[in-house]
Amino acid sequence: MAENLDFLFYPKSVAVIGASNVPGKVGNAIMRSITLRYDGKVYPVNVKGGEIEVNGKKFPVYRSVKEIPDEVEVAVIAVPARFVPDVIDECGEKGVKAAVVISAGFKEAGRADLEEELVKRAKKWGIRVVGPNCLGVTNLENGFDCNFNPPERQARPPFGKVAFMSQSGAFGAAILDWAARERIGMSKFISLGNMADLDESDFMRYLGDDPKTGVITGYIEGVKDGRKFFNTAKEVTLKKPIIVLKSGRTEAGAKAAASHTGSLAGAYKIYQAAFEQTGVLEAKSMRQLFNYAKALAMQSPAKGNRVAIVTNGGGAGVMMSDGLLERGMKLAELSDETNEKFRKSIEEGKLPEHMSYKNPIDIIGDAPSSRYEVAMRYALEDPNVDLLVVIALFQSPALDEGIVEAMERMKAYGKPIVFVAPGGDYPHKMARNIEMKGVPVYETVEDGVDAVYALVKYGEWLRENGRL
Amino acid sequence: MAENLDFLFYPKSVAVIGASNVPGKVGNAIMRSITLRYDGKVYPVNVKGGEIEVNGKKFPVYRSVKEIPDEVEVAVIAVPARFVPDVIDECGEKGVKAAVVISAGFKEAGRADLEEELVKRAKKWGIRVVGPNCLGVTNLENGFDCNFNPPERQARPPFGKVAFMSQSGAFGAAILDWAARERIGMSKFISLGNMADLDESDFMRYLGDDPKTGVITGYIEGVKDGRKFFNTAKEVTLKKPIIVLKSGRTEAGAKAAASHTGSLAGAYKIYQAAFEQTGVLEAKSMRQLFNYAKALAMQSPAKGNRVAIVTNGGGAGVMMSDGLLERGMKLAELSDETNEKFRKSIEEGKLPEHMSYKNPIDIIGDAPSSRYEVAMRYALEDPNVDLLVVIALFQSPALDEGIVEAMERMKAYGKPIVFVAPGGDYPHKMARNIEMKGVPVYETVEDGVDAVYALVKYGEWLRENGRL
């Protein structure tokens, strides 16, 4: 049931049913979010009628969706649960294509009957449903944003390539807020809620075809339909990476999940096997999920697992070696030709006497960017190197800002690069500049290890399937 | 050889040998660092003589340490390696107690002979040596700071309870810079360098007795004297926690370590057994090291491994449950009495109908701080609970700032508390306020799991040894 859900993310007109003029109410907060950047038409609906003013704009309030003197593609519904089925009927009469049901009080509150009724009515009219009991969808590209958390509490990330879907609304909100601070660009966010109709697999398929999404990520407690998930994931991962943070891995976690989303978290081993067989990357934590996602959004997958490390700090090189080996990667054995290049450059005084080029290539503490460039080129030119890790301890004043442009020049080699810059404010500033050149930068060695792992692992999957 | 090294961290007067007037030179950078906050006497020494101006202050330059018309407790030495042994002799004649040898070009550069000579001379005069080939020591309390990295590249953390020593200078610098940004308070920093004389065990012992240090942390590639480390650690961990990040764990890492510090990284399993037997907490990454350190610096160790979780987001509760179980902790089984309290409060409308108090205690998305307070009290009053984890998704506008004062009030129960607040700018702001009340706050669930682990694990060690 492949379906293009563009009407849900790029609607020309939207009705907000349960819109309110009272600050603090969900129906007011949604109006605030949805009218901030989105330039489609927004029609508030409330049985009380009247007028709503948000973001400096005034909107007449319709008493029913049927009164709206225009087509309505999407209805965002935030009325008490018991009214939702009838609202769905009205939407059906109006020709609405999709309903984003924010309202809670369904299955999660012991009212499975109400949820079944909702689905039955929606099916009758051919309306696709997001939720209920969710934060809705947010399209970071056009600003279509149903999320009722106010921007002063939950920032929105910049537009970018990472899509995120979440079975937990609250955690999804935290992720958006966090991504905004970390400047991780997102394409679309989906709060899945109870998944009465549209589920994680439907969105996975849609995002797989979405040209604005480069990487699909998700938080799940349990999938709704195992077979559907398996088949969809297997197909989509050949086009773009899918990264999943699966919780409910332990007995206690599974119990908690059951009382949270009602998900049958199931035997974790079965999930692991399914991820393995479908090429889904499993992240064990939120940070790891985004370490993976950033790497795959910014770099091409690696053609092998042989990694070269260039560093101005020996200790960080040791830690990186440990991290890579512990995760199944290898330190590249540099070719004789490369060794010869280093030997010669040291002889000629272009590189310092006491450096080590045994990989980790330790260009020592007083390395300027020009020394980095020589070492990076030698490593990238080596056919034994599939991926380059660059570690820069910017605390050394010898390291000049020329490193930013140098990274730009390294792109020509076409090999994936991961940059690690531990420390405080100055490295953070440099990180942003380097990321503008398309190279992902990580704050710690262990985050960088995650990044390498994702690029190597996804590359393996593509190779196994003849796609790389 | 227990020795009080206070003279090294609290000198009344210091000579900087190799001081320079030329910006960018190491001997100039050290003068800048050392005269910024430290209010002891600083005497620059350089054979060229003259005058040095740094931080708006003028200093006459002495041609030799012997010319200084005052006692000198510590000499910071930054002259070319070949001159160092003779400089040590001059320091000996002058009565200097400790030499911090910044200069490189010793064992790490194939000149073990020069290093032996340095030690021989120092021994003769009874001078204790830090380094050579290091960033020296930094006392965050009095500003005595030999570190030559300029503040615009490497910030200094605020004064606090965590001491850090590092076998890697560059990584140590990155850690300082990072701690400054993360506002982790530090007592003393030691860059160990080649450890020609004073080694990790000497400093461990000193820091164990240092009243300003609450937690001892360190980055090591290999210990200098296994027996000494074992005996010292075993004694010190009964007084305060020691956290070690050991690198060179894998074959590739060990090789890299050998070419970096010359450390015989040794079989990692032996290190692991030693850490286990001496109560040293091993961190696997930089972030984990500081997650452990912050928890132990701010909270008392747990009396058991039974954890209660109070959360306003179900998903985060599930993830926390997984994380705790995977690391050997348990979810506390709340007592009948506690269950009864929750049941009653729900009946009375003080707590919401659809919340779950099965632990994780999910007080749901619209929880204000008053609801947190009720749930936290019930959890902390329960004799089955050893430690409380509070998860707050501040993206929900329902959660008011009263949570800060509520955390203050929870201290009365005397049980350790770990706070998790994922997200962006607003949660970060709240985190700082809550930490001012003495409760450590973590950015992600997995960081919070680290914190709990440290408090439980160190508590176990103390209990096993009859100290808790």
| pLDDT tens digit sequence for B255-313 | 888 877 766 656 899 999 999 999 999 999 999 999 999 999 999 999 999 999 999 99
A422 token code pair: 């531990």
A11 token code pair: 């609607």
Share of residues in chain B with pLDDT > 90 (%): 94
Do B252 and A321 make contact, defined as CB atoms within 8 angstroms?
yes
Task: Report d(CA B223, CA B242) in Å as an integer.
Answer: 14
Q: Could you tell me which chain B residue has the CA closest to the CA of A175?
A: B423
B161 token code pair: 């309870």
What is the nearest CA distance from A66 to chain B, expressed in angstroms? 32
Question: Of A59, A55, A66, which is closest to residue A19 (Cα–Cα)?
Answer: A59
What is the nearest CA distance from B456 to chain A, expressed in angstroms? 18
Which of B395, B401, B430, B441 best probes binding to A when mutated, by most A CB atoms within 10 angstroms? Answer: B395
**Chain A residue numbers touching B330 (CB-CB < 8 A):** 252
Q: Could you tell me which chain A residue has the CA closest to the CA of B309?
A: A256
Which of the following CATH numbers is that of domain B154-298: 3.30.1360.70, 3.20.20.70, 3.40.50.261, 3.30.70.20?
3.40.50.261
User: Which residue matches tokens 């891995």?
Assistant: A249
| pLDDT tens digit sequence for A211-224 | 999 999 999 999 98
Residue A315 is nearest to which of B178, B260, B427, comparing CB atoms? B260
Task: Report d(CA A464, CA A452) in Å as an integer.
Answer: 18
Query: Residue A126 — pLDDT band, cuts 50, 70, 90?
Result: very high
What dotted CATH number matches B1-135?
3.40.50.720
Contact with chain B for residue A181, Cβ under 8 A? yes
Do B325 and A250 make contact, defined as CB atoms within 8 angstroms?
yes
| pLDDT tens digit sequence for B428-458 | 999 999 999 999 999 999 999 999 999 999 9
Is-contact A76 A139, C-beta < 8 A?
A: no
DSSP codes joined into one string, A413-432: G---EEEE--SSHHHHHHHH
Query: Residue A260 — pLDDT band, cuts 50, 70, 90?
Result: confident
Which of A166, A286, A318, A329 best probes binding to B when mutated, by most B CB atoms within 10 angstroms? Answer: A318
Report the side by side order of strands in the sheet with B215-220: B144-145, B137-139, B186-191, B159-166, B215-220, B242-246, B281-283
Instruction: Tell me the HSE value of A126 on the side-chain side, using a 13 A CA sphere.
Output: 7
User: Which residue matches tokens 């086009």?
Assistant: A239
**Any idea what the Cα angle at residue B323 is, between residues B322 and B327, rounded to 5°?**
115
Residue B414: other Cβ atoms inside 10 A: 9
Do A425 and B155 make contact, defined as CB atoms within 8 angstroms?
yes
What's the pLDDT score for residue A263?
Answer: 67
Query: Residue A431 — pLDDT band, cuts 50, 70, 90?
Result: very high
Q: Could you tell me which chain B residue has the CA closest to the CA of A401?
A: B153
What's the pLDDT score for residue A1?
Answer: 46
| pLDDT tens digit sequence for A164-181 | 999 999 999 999 999 999
Amino acid letter, residue A121: R
Contact with chain A for residue B393, Cβ under 8 A? yes
Is-contact B78 B44, C-beta < 8 A?
A: no
Question: Of A218, A193, A194, A196, which is closest to residue A206 (Cα–Cα)?
Answer: A218
Task: Report d(CA B223, CA B267) in Å as an integer.
Answer: 12
B-proximal residues of A, 289-318, CB under 8 Å:
312-318
**Chain B residue numbers touching A324 (CB-CB < 8 A):** 252
What's the pLDDT score for residue B257?
Answer: 85
Range in A22-36, A176-190, A245-259, A270-284 the model is least confident about: A245-259
Which of B28, B319, B353 best probes binding to A when mutated, by most A CB atoms within 10 angstroms? Answer: B319
Q: Where are the domains of chain A?
A: 1-135, 154-298, 300-464
Contact with chain A for residue B450, Cβ under 8 A? no
Better-scored residue on pLDDT, B118 or A24: B118
Amino acid letter, residue B258: A
Residue A259 is nearest to which of B331, B356, B425, comparing CB atoms? B356
B-proximal residues of A, 6-45, CB under 8 Å:
24, 29
Total residue count of chain B as it appears in this document: 468
Topology alike, domains B1-135 and B300-464 = yes
B-proximal residues of A, 232-271, CB under 8 Å:
245, 247-253, 255-257, 259-261
**Chain A residue numbers touching B284 (CB-CB < 8 A):** 446
Mark out the alpha helices in A35-95 (DSSP H runs).
84-94
What is the nearest CA distance from B256 to chain A, expressed in angstroms? 5
Q: Phi, psi at residue B266, to the nearest 5°?
A: 70, 170
- In DSSP terms, B216 is beta-bridged to B163, B242
Alpha carbon distances (Å) from A198 to A1, A101, A194, B377: 11, 11, 9, 40
Query: Residue A266 — pLDDT band, cuts 50, 70, 90?
Result: low
| pLDDT tens digit sequence for A79-109 | 999 999 999 999 999 999 999 999 999 998 8
| 468 residues of chain B, pLDDT tens digit each | 457 999 999 999 999 999 999 998 999 999 999 999 999 999 999 999 999 999 999 999 999 999 999 999 999 999 999 999 999 999 999 999 999 999 999 998 899 999 999 999 999 999 999 999 999 999 999 999 999 999 999 999 999 999 999 999 999 999 999 999 999 999 999 999 999 999 999 999 999 999 999 999 999 999 989 999 999 999 999 999 999 999 999 988 888 888 777 666 568 999 999 999 999 999 999 999 999 999 999 999 999 999 999 999 999 999 999 999 999 999 999 999 999 999 999 999 999 998 999 999 999 999 999 999 999 999 999 999 999 999 999 999 999 999 999 999 999 999 999 999 999 999 999 999 999 999 999 999 999 999 999 999 999 999 999 998
A10 contacts: CB under 8 Å, gap ≥ 6: A139, A142, A144
A169 contacts: CB under 8 Å, gap ≥ 6: A133, A134, A135, A191, A193, B365
A2 pLDDT higher than 70: no
Is-contact B447 B220, C-beta < 8 A?
A: no
What's the pLDDT score for residue B1?
Answer: 46
Range in A110-114, A254-258, A374-378, B132-136 the model is least confident about: A254-258
Is-contact A132 A81, C-beta < 8 A?
A: yes
- Helix A169-182 to helix B425-436 angle, to the nearest 10 degrees? 100
Do A426 and B177 make contact, defined as CB atoms within 8 angstroms?
yes
B340 contacts: CB under 8 Å, gap ≥ 6: none
A468 pLDDT higher than 90: no
A-proximal residues of B, 90-109, CB under 8 Å:
108-109
Do B318 and A257 make contact, defined as CB atoms within 8 angstroms?
yes
Q: Could you tell me which chain B residue has the CA closest to the CA of A151?
A: B395
Q: Could you tell me which chain A residue has the CA closest to the CA of B176?
A: A423
Query: Ramachandran region of residue A92, left (φ > 0), alpha (ψ -120 to 50) or beta?
Result: alpha
Range in A119-128, A235-244, B348-357 the model is least confident about: B348-357
Query: Ramachandran region of residue A349, left (φ > 0), alpha (ψ -120 to 50) or beta?
Result: left
Do A256 and B318 make contact, defined as CB atoms within 8 angstroms?
yes
Task: Report d(CA A75, CA A129) in Å as an integer.
Answer: 10
Do B259 and A325 make contact, defined as CB atoms within 8 angstroms?
no
Q: What topology does CATH give the domain A300-464?
A: Rossmann fold (3.40.50)
Task: Report d(CA B43, CA B146) in Å as an integer.
Answer: 13
Task: Report d(CA B421, CA B427) in Å as an integer.
Answer: 6
Amino acid letter, residue B256: A
Amino acid letter, residue A265: A
C-alpha torsion sign, points B55, B57, B62, B63:
positive
